């Protein structure tokens, strides 16, 4: 039975948290532009996601980014496929 490589899983989660923080930058800009009250919530959430993602990513620097392309690409593929299957538009 194969062992689970927890280091690569934590590094992938770190990259996904970075992507999550980056994807919240546009709603933050829109919130600032329109002067809404949820700007602080966006800043706190982006900060937490970026810090935890950085800790998880830089804790194990021996892995190549190439090792993570397949799992992250497949997760994005299945997300888009699932959204299209149930009639929700992603893009």
Q: Can you give the chain as a three-state secondary structure string?
A: CCCCCHHHHHHHHHHHHHHHHHHCHHHHHHHHHHCCCCHHHHHHHHHHHHHHHHHHHHHCCCCCCHHHHHHHHHHHHHHHHHHHHCCCCCC
13-24 pLDDT tens trace? 888 899 899 999
What percent of the chain has a predicted confidence (pLDDT) above 90?
Answer: 34
> In terms of pTM, does the model score above 0.85?
no
pLDDT given at position 15:
84
């Amino acid at each position: 039975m194969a062992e689970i490589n927890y280091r690569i899983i934590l590094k992938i989660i770190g990259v996904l948290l970075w992507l999550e923080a980056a994807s919240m930058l546009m709603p933050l800009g829109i919130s600032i532009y329109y002067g809404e009250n949820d700007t602080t919530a966006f800043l706190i959430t982006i900060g937490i996601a970026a810090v935890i993602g950085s800790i998880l990513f830089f804790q194990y620097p021996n892995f190549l980014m190439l090792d993570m392309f397949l799992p992250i690409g497949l997760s994005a593929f299945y997300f888009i496929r699932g959204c299209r299957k149930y009639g929700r538009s992603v893009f």
